[in-house]
Amino acid sequence: MLVMRADCRLYYYEPIWTYTFSNTTACGVIGWYYDFLKSMTTIIIIVILDLFTFTKCRIHGAHLIAQLSDEKSRARKRDEINFVTQASLQGFIFILELVTYFVVSSLVDARAAKFAFTTLAWILVHALDGVIAIYFNKEFSRLIRRRHISASTQNQLTASQSGQRSEQSTKANTNKKNVYSTS
């Protein structure tokens, strides 16, 4: 068994505005094989399993769809298409991030480009993963809209009440001034 011991801690490297591993051969091997190829293989396997599951469900679920009403059938088909689209988009953005991080960033020298293809790409892939999940999940979208609507309604109510209190306070102060000025 081959045991490799290397200090491959991630550290911030100012000249290229990014976090990187130590620049050693061992860290290069670990980064390429363990980080890049393992991640890429895992994502590809997940996409294949998602597509296989979708196909299997379509084949075995065809007789169930025939028993459902047309509206339910269309809704189920739409949900299945959304699921495959979501899984595919999420897999695609992760593959794109891995390629930009490990391959494209090594082809550029400019500091801003290195930052964009490494750190910014890493941040964007995780942000977009959440956006895609929320966009394709009806329950998440409804929950967020409901909370947004109730929060904005609460803000409007609070602002309205504050405005009324401010008007009452202004009137009270004006009445006090009028009482003092007439005496």
pLDDT in tens, 147-176: 766 666 666 656 666 655 555 555 555 555
pLDDT in tens, 123-143: 999 999 999 998 988 887 778
- Measured distance CA(154)–CA(147) in Å, rounded: 10
φ/ψ of residue 19, rounded to 5: -90, 140
Closest CA to 6 of 32, 25, 20: 25
pLDDT of residue 70: 73
pLDDT in tens, 42-79: 888 888 887 887 777 777 666 666 666 677 777 777 78
Region of poorest pLDDT, from 21-30, 144-153, 169-178: 169-178
- Measured distance CA(118)–CA(97) in Å, rounded: 8
pLDDT of residue 183: 44
Kindly report whether the global pTM for this prediction surpasses the value 0.85: no
pLDDT of residue 160: 63
pLDDT of residue 180: 52
- Measured distance CA(168)–CA(92) in Å, rounded: 58
